[in-house]
Amino acid sequence: MVRKEIELEEIEKQFKKLKEELKDVKPNSKKGEEFLKNIRAYVNDTEHFIEKGDYVLAFECIVWAWAWYEIGKELGML
């Protein structure tokens, strides 16, 4: 049980951190809009899987959301 609590704590930490980052993010192009749409979809999926108690899928989704975010920033789309 402790492990699940630790996993959930880390997922929620990353979830909140990314949501905070996304408050000020604006797309710089049509492709940037697509990136932001995908990021938000993964954020929504993360929340969905947390609510269902599926922490493995929640973790996967937040990792993908961060990946899209970092790539979008690095390529100048966000």
Name the pTM for this structure. 0.87
Q: Rounded to 5 degrees, what angle do the CA atoms 76, 77, 78 make?
A: 95
* Phi, psi torsion values for 44, nearest 5 degrees: -60, -40
- Confidence class for position 3, pLDDT limits 50, 70, 90: low
Percent helix, percent strand, percent coil in the chain, to nearest 5: 80, 0, 20
The model's pLDDT over 15-57, given as tens digits with 9 standing for 90+, comes to: 899 999 999 999 999 999 999 999 999 999 999 999 999 998 9
**CATH no., domain 2-74:** 1.20.1270.90
Q: What is the dihedral of CA 58, 61, 63, 69, to 10 degrees?
A: -140
